[in-house]
Structure 1
Amino acid sequence: MSSLGDSLVIAQRNVLRLTRIPEMVVFGLVQPIMFVVLFSFVFGGSMMIGGSTSAAGYREFLMAGIFAQTVTFATAGAGAGIADDMHKGLIDRFRSLPMARGAVLTGRTLADLAQTTLTLGVLAIVALLVGWRIHEGIPKALLAFALLLLLGYAFSWIGALIGLSVRTPEAATSGGLIWLFPVTFVSNAFVPTENMADWLQPIAEWNPFSATVQACRELFGNPGVSPSDAWPMEHPVAASVLWSVLIVTVFRTLAVRRYRRAE
């Protein structure tokens, strides 16, 4: 309970910081909205989904991928924030206080989760305006959003580890984005995996990102493609939860260990 209390105090500190620097929230909203508009209206009429090149059909296929990309791209901001605190010496002050070692990182990731929740809510409204719809009911849609937030929380621990491992916020931002592009684009987010090269399809199908996207399409009732024989594509909800829990377990352990050894 003491560790939880420490984590919530740090989370509150980071949330208050966001309210005092609102441009951070605004800029975080602009990028996903641009992705929705550009992919929907620029590529929508040229993508074949389920044997059709309907722009409306592609928009519904696309949105689960855009949602997942949005929550994972928040990783770069998480890493940059921790690197900035390290650079300013704030982490050293926290380490000198009688508080749980993992509380600083847990609080930071919880604050990032709160910001991601806000961004996801605004993005869902924009998606509805461009034609995206939910077809399986509110309970399943809420489960889909919960899976997205769980994935975003898991990836934020990767960002935390990167932020603790570099010396400047700029390096953390670059390091946080470099690996995200192959993870998000070598997946089923924007095109069906069956259109990829044969050697690339298994990589995309076993990608944790793809599992969450596939799970969200099923829960939203959005059009998709027939799942492959890969286990994550046949059981996407279970695969999404397992991948996210595994990522949190591994990278939280590594990040807390790195935090203890940080200079």
Structure 2
Amino acid sequence: MSAAAERLRAAGCVFAEDEARLIAAAVRTPRDLRALVERRASGLPLEHVVGWAGFHGLRILVDPGVFVPRRRTEFLVERAVAASGDRPVVVDLCCGSGALGAALAAARPGTELHAADVDPAAVRCARRNVEPVGGRIHQGDLYAALPASLRGRVDVLLANVPYVPTGDIAVLPTEAREHEARVALDGGADGLAVLRRVSAQAPAWLAPGGRLFVEASDRQVDRALAIVRADGLEAEAATSEEYAATVIIATRPNHRAR
């Protein structure tokens, strides 16, 4: 085992050899390797150490402090891609690194993509992932960040909102709790505070037949469905054992506008 892998193993990294190889590929000198290994050993997420995360077949750039896209969220993207027609209008709210929007745009050439986040660090990071696939990035609080011209035109609304209840933040893995922005994790008292805000305005931004895709935990499904249905959307939940993921899919009816 290499010295880098030994150091990572001693720090508790389960996949020490794999991580050591990834870190080695990101540096030019042994000194840089030792520095990055120490950053990882101190608890910094691997993606923040090497500067990227693998997501839906893409290499997504990830800056320190920015939410790292999870593999489980690939299920949300797969469902959104399957529901997208040609040249869809797509909005990625709470975009973080912009991974969801970038992945959908890569799978659907001709997508009109807009991504938005309230965190300036996330916006800076997302710009590097969204603009290369032809997307535009906006900074602001949810829909307030978006151009008014998108109202009633959005075919696919991706909203990987924070859904961890405030009381559960303290028991999250250290990598998330200490190295990702609180605004990207904290979903309020029941974890559904941001979903409520997204859902309330979704009918005004979605095109007739447009869909909202939101990730949720298993224990939140019934309440999440009730929230979006109360806002006039038709909703269902999709689950994946492979990804250990649950996605709420809410559709604006073709016959109804709000």
Specify which structure has the higher proportion of helix: 1
Flag the structure with more relative contact order, 1 or 2, with Cα contacts below 8 A and sequence separation at least 6. 1
TM-score over 0.5 (shorter chain): no
Specify which structure has the higher proportion of strand: 2
- TM tier, shorter chain? under 0.3
